[in-house]
Amino acid sequence: MIALFPYPTLVSFKKTMSNKNIDFSKESQQLEVLRAEIGKVIVGQEDLVERLILAFLCNGHVLIEGIPGLAKTLTVNTLAQSLDATFSRIQFTPDLLPGDLTGTMIYNPGNGEFSTHQGPIFAHIVLADEINRSPAKVQSALLEAMQEKQVTLGGKVFTLPSPFLVLATQNPIEQEGTYPLPEAQVDRFMFKLRVSYPTFDEEHEVLKRMSRTDQKIDVKQVLSLESILEMRKKLELVHMDSSLEKYILHIVNATRKPAEYGLDQSEMIRFGASPRASIFMSLASRGEALLKGRSYVIPEDIKSVSLDILRHRIALSYKAEAKKVSSDHLIQNILDTVSIP
């Protein structure tokens, strides 16, 4: 048995080294064309656009936080048009019912049978606008769709389209009449993105483009859904050294046990990130490398995605809230402290 051990190890090593030489320039160029097509409509917001593409590539959902009027809905809609994907926008309100989301069974008195009416959740890209305005029953129905990629109607299970992506928005300012999202649901979102105001020059360009009666800008399909699904398979070929895997684990572990890393912020965190954070960081850093045309992950890829993956997975204590310490600040301390391989 001992004599057999080196053989698979050698094969695995050769395979790993060959993966580092794979050319992903074609995929990188295709995604750059996608970015440029979205840029025909969206001014600035490069980080938002790149994260949405990365989430689509990594099969992860996105929670977007920002005040109204920052083109969140327009960006998501433009992404769907660029990919020729079906798109649904659902306005979450306090009186929304699960059936308004998933669909329902309709009784036909003519034949005495029930027929299935599928709801707006049956789309490739679903925009859940102001997601925190609907009660727990609606969130539960959405959670099944997000996690299982399926909907149950009348005792039957219906598979959602593939690919399937939920992009949810919430307003950080107006909290009256809102329902806090369950921790289990928040953890299902791969990224939590914060959208800020455009720069002066960007807003000037928005003004010139949009302050006219005909605001329609034609968006072409530049990439097929099949191409995205093929790219997802290629993520497995992006090489990540074991030292970088441990680097990810140390970052996540530092959110749970900061004192072990010499960080004086234990009293600021009620609980740290779940193992899902480690999985998403590994996946997203591979996607980040592919976006840049590389077949291997570097530490900067991991650091680049860390804030967006971890900020909603760290529960702050009352002491942190009283001192107005943000999760971003604590995560940045961790990234500055944990040693890079």
Sketch the domain layout of the chain as residue ranges: 23-211+225-237, 238-341
Residue with the larger pLDDT of the pair 6 and 73:
73
pLDDT tier, 214 (very low <50, low <70, confident <90, very high otherwise): low
At residue 175 the predicted structure's pLDDT band, cuts being 50, 70 and 90, is low
Architecture of domain 238-341: Orthogonal Bundle (1.10)
Report the alpha-carbon distance of residue 244 to residue 229 in Å, rounded: 26
Q: Is the pLDDT of residue 331 over 50?
A: yes
How confident is the model over 24-69, as pLDDT tens digits? Answer: 778 888 888 888 888 777 777 778 888 888 998 898 899 988 777 6
Look at residue 22 and tell me whether its pLDDT is greater than 80.
no
Over residues 175-196, the mean pLDDT reads: 79
Q: Which residues contact 214 (CB under 8 A, 6 or more apart)?
A: none
3-state secondary structure 250-284: HHHHHHHCHHHHCCCCHHHEEECCCHHHHHHHHHH
Q: Is the dihedral of CA 202, 207, 208, 214 positive or negative?
A: positive
CATH of domain 23-211+225-237: 3.40.50.300
Closest by CA position to 310, among listed 286, 270, 280, 341: 280
> Mind listing the pLDDT tens digit for each residue in 120-165?
999 998 998 888 888 888 888 888 888 888 888 877 888 898 889 9
Per-residue pLDDT band for 279 (boundaries 50, 70, 90) equals very high
CB 117 within 8 A of CB 106: yes
Look-up of token digits 């959208």: 195
Phi-psi region of 129 (alpha: psi -120 to 50; beta: other; left: phi over 0): beta
| Reported confidence tier of residue 324, pLDDT bands at 50, 70, 90 | confident
Confidence (pTM): 0.82
Beta carbons of 63 and 103 less than 8 angstroms apart: no
